[in-house]
């Protein structure tokens, strides 16, 4: 029997290899680094992420795939869509390391495993955007999630962290089993799990294909925390260490959307008539639930959890619009880029106020921040404006492109829902600003240099995306167009 | 005696999947929830194998190995989390584990 080695192009998966390999190397190196030099772990992690980022930026404009089985389509593809998302994931990783260093030390969680798990999770996220085969989507989803289950329970034996980890784990595993069953049904109805081949055959799949699509939607909706599958989010976000919350509110969500866009827009556009109304419905519900329930939250982590649910709704508007509008995918990509900076920036401020673990996270702790820490308060106010969607912020540009794509795709009602819920969201975001400037209060603020840098950089990036969104949106547009061409061409 | 066709297998896997899903939604013991999740994954495995046999294609059987491997990794992490929470709370009933509300 002849055995053929499939053609490999390792160069294009090099960023993922660097991140995973770096994680493993750090695991080994941990044995040899003396105790007093353990504080190197975050900086070594950062080095690995920066190397991968440089390599990823070098792949901009590259189009290709690898791990091609005989007579099939590549399982891993690198196009601008994947590269754009990989840049988002690596930036998320780098910023998370920056906000983690001091936080972990003062909360007594400074164990090197934290950074390794972070690296593994980032590699899973990167594969989510590159996966061109449903089974690889599943593997990437698990590679993303399993380290996150452990990370959310990282503050054990604190009961709320343990509870958060268990809830996340049980619901995450539940949703992945629904997702796998969806893959099984897709396989049964089309005879393949490769996305380009699914694209060719799904129109003949009939009922089974529709059921499979529905299960895939449920699986993704759990991952991105869309209503009515969002029940785990507030508890998990509140209980997990705040740095982990920051990481998963951006990374896990964008990872879910990465695979969702590739699967639904590139492989299942023929079923658009069936899934666009479903996704639009989920988006509406998500926007209403997220924005309305956020109003009554006294805890800022919980408020930001509901806010992240709401933002999943805005990105889902773009997903629903992407079948009929050429700008849907690029609007989603741009929105996620803006969301990355805004949300991580807001979380960096939350971490600065959380002087002890679990303390200083109530909204009342923000009273008087404008007097105590004028610059930090200004940045927080700016992030809150960006999350609301007030110009000139990245959040405004993102919402503008999303709503424009929705109108182009004849989903005017969905854009109207989005605008109305944005107005509602102003109530709870601006309340933070109000508390910071209109009251007096005291409380410790721990702002070390890495944290201040993170806040400054994210605020600057949000400002740039707000003032000059054009070039970045063009980049997102390059990224989006190529996906569709790439997959359609096999 | 009727011939056992693909439909039988798919029906069985759908039944197993539904029992698993109902178990997750109705039971309150974390270990039993976890077993129900495993049952859902195995229902998917059965569907994969049955479809692979029906289509005369080996891919489905290979996919089962991936699912089994991932399930094993999930078991490792999941049991650790359940054991840790049992040590602090002396209970794995998920109704008794709710500190956070809102």
Of A180, A191, A298, Cβ closest to residue B57: A191
Q: Which helix (H) or strand (E) holds A66?
A: strand A64-66
Supply the ipTM of this predicted assembly.
0.94
The full set of domains in chain B, from first to last, is 6-89 (1.10.287.3510)
Instruction: Kindly determine whether residue A163 and residue B10, on different chains, have CB atoms separated by under 8 Å.
Output: no
Provide the 3-class DSSP secondary structure of residue A133. strand
User: CA nearest B11 in A: which residue?
Assistant: A185
Asked if A240 contacts A165 with a C-beta cutoff of 8 angstroms, the reply is: yes
Determine the Cα–Cα distance for residues A423 and A291; give it in Å rounded to an integer: 9
Of A159, A178, A239, Cβ closest to residue B89: A159
Give the ranges where A439-468 is alpha helix by DSSP (H): 449-467
How many residues appear in chain B? 102
Question: What's phi and psi for A230, nearest 5 deg?
Answer: -105, 0
Pair type for strands A76-78 and A64-66? antiparallel
In the numeric block, which tokens belong to residue B73?
């990794």
Question: What's phi and psi for A443, nearest 5 deg?
Answer: 160, 150
DSSP string, A305-323: HHHHHHHHHHHHHHHHHTT
Closest CA to A45 of A66, A72, A59, A27: A27
Instruction: Kindly determine whether residue A184 and residue B24, on different chains, have CB atoms separated by under 8 Å.
Output: no
Full-model pTM: 0.94
Question: What's phi and psi for A183, nearest 5 deg?
Answer: -65, -40
pLDDT tens for chain A, 490 residues: list them.
566 666 677 888 899 999 999 999 998 988 887 777 777 889 999 999 999 999 999 998 888 888 887 777 888 999 899 999 999 999 999 999 999 999 998 888 888 889 999 999 999 999 999 999 999 999 999 999 999 999 999 988 888 899 899 999 999 999 999 999 999 999 999 988 988 888 888 888 788 889 999 999 999 999 999 988 888 999 999 999 999 999 999 999 999 999 999 998 888 888 888 899 999 999 999 999 999 999 999 999 999 999 999 999 999 999 999 988 888 999 999 999 999 999 999 999 999 998 887 788 888 889 888 888 899 999 999 999 999 999 889 999 999 999 999 999 999 999 999 999 999 999 999 999 999 999 888 878 888 888 999 999 999 999 999 999 999 999 998 888 665 544 444 4
Q: Is B30 on the interface with A (CB under 8 A)?
A: yes
- DSSP structural state of residue A367: T
Instruction: Kindly determine whether residue B24 and residue A193, on different chains, have CB atoms separated by under 8 Å.
Output: no
Provide the 3-class DSSP secondary structure of residue A78. strand
Q: Is B15 on the interface with A (CB under 8 A)?
A: no
Instruction: Kindly determine whether residue A178 and residue B21, on different chains, have CB atoms separated by under 8 Å.
Output: yes
Burial of A210 (0-12, 13-18, 19+ CB in 10 A): middle
What Cα–Cα distance (Å) separates residue A24 from each residue in A32, A121, A129, A402? 14, 13, 22, 39
Determine the Cα–Cα distance for residues A293 and A430; give it in Å rounded to an integer: 15
- DSSP structural state of residue A355: -
Of B47, B78, B80, Cβ closest to residue A184: B47
Tell me how close the Cα of B30 comes to any Cα of chain A, in angstroms.
8
Closest CA to A248 of A231, A234, A229: A234
Q: Is B63 on the interface with A (CB under 8 A)?
A: yes
Determine the Cα–Cα distance for residues B88 and B15; give it in Å rounded to an integer: 37
- Cβ-based contacts of A188 with chain B (< 8 Å): 10, 47, 50-51, 54-55
First to last CA, chain B: 58
Q: Is A153 on the interface with B (CB under 8 A)?
A: yes
């Amino acid at each position: 029997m002849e055995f053929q080695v499939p053609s490999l192009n390792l160069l294009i998966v090099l960023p993922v290899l660097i991140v995973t390999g770096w994680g493993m190397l750090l695991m080994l190196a941990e044995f040899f680094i003396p105790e007093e030099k353990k504080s190197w772990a975050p900086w070594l992690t950062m080095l690995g992420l920066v190397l991968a980022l440089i390599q990823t930026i070098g792949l901009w404009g590259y189009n290709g795939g690898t791990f091609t089985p005989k007579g099939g389509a590549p399982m891993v593809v690198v196009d601008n869509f994947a590269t754009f998302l990989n840049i988002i994931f690596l930036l998320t990783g780098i910023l998370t390391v920056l906000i983690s260093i001091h936080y972990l030390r003062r909360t007594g969680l400074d164990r090197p495993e934290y950074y390794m798990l972070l690296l593994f999770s980032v590699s899973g996220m990167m594969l989510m955007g590159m996966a061109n085969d449903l089974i690889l989507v599943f593997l990437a989803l698990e590679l993303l999630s399993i380290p996150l289950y452990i990370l959310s329970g990282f503050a054990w034996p604190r009961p709320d962290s343990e509870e958060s980890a268990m809830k996340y784990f049980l619901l995450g595993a539940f949703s992945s089993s629904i997702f796998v069953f969806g893959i099984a049904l897709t396989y049964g109805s089309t005879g393949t799990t490769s996305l380009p081949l699914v694209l060719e055959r799904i129109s003949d799949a009939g009922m089974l294909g529709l059921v499979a699509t529905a299960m895939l939607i449920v699986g993704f909706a759990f991952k991105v925390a869309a209503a009515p599958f969002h029940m785990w989010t507030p508890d998990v976000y509140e209980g997990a260490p705040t740095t982990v919350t920051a990481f998963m509110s951006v990374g896990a969500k964008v990872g879910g959307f990465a695979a969702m866009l590739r699967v639904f827009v590139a492989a299942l556009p023929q079923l658009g008539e069936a899934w666009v109304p479903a996704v639009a419905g989920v988006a509406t519900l998500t926007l209403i639930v997220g924005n309305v329930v956020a109003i009554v939250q006294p805890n800022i982590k919980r408020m930001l959890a509901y806010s992240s649910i709401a933002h999943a709704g805005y990105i889902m508007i773009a997903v629903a619009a992407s079948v009929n509008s050429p700008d849907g995918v690029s609007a989603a990509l741009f929105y996620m880029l803006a969301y990355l900076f805004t949300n991580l920036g807001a979380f960096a401020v939350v971490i600065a106020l959380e002087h002890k673990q679990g303390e200083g996270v109530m909204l009342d702790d923000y009273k008087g921040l404008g007097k105590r820490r004028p610059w930090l308060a200004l940045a927080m106010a700016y992030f809150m404006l960006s999350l609301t969607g007030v110009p000139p912020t990245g959040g405004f540009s993102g919402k503008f492109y999303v709503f424009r794509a929705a109108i182009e795709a004849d989903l005017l009602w969905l854009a109207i829902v989005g605008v109305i819920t944005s107005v509602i969201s102003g109530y709870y975001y601006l309340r933070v600003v109000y508390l910071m400037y209109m009251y007096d209060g005291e409380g410790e603020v721990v702002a070390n240099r890495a944290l201040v840098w993170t806040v400054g950089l994210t605020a600057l990036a949000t400002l740039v995306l707000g003032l000059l969104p054009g070039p970045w949106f063009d980049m997102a547009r390059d990224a989006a167009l190529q996906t569709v061409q790439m997959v359609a061409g096999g | 005696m009727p011939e056992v066709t693909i439909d039988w297998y798919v029906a069985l896997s759908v039944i197993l999947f539904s029992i698993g899903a109902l178990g997750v939604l109705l039971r309150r013991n974390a270990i039993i929830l976890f077993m129900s999740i495993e049952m859902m994954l195995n229902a998917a495995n059965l569907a994969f194998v049955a479809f692979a046999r029906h289509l005369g294609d080996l891919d489905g059987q290979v996919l089962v190995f991936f699912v089994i491997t991932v399930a094993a990794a999930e078991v490792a992490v999941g049991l650790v989390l359940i054991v840790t929470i049992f040590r602090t709370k002396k209970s794995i009933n998920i109704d008794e584990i709710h500190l956070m509300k809102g």
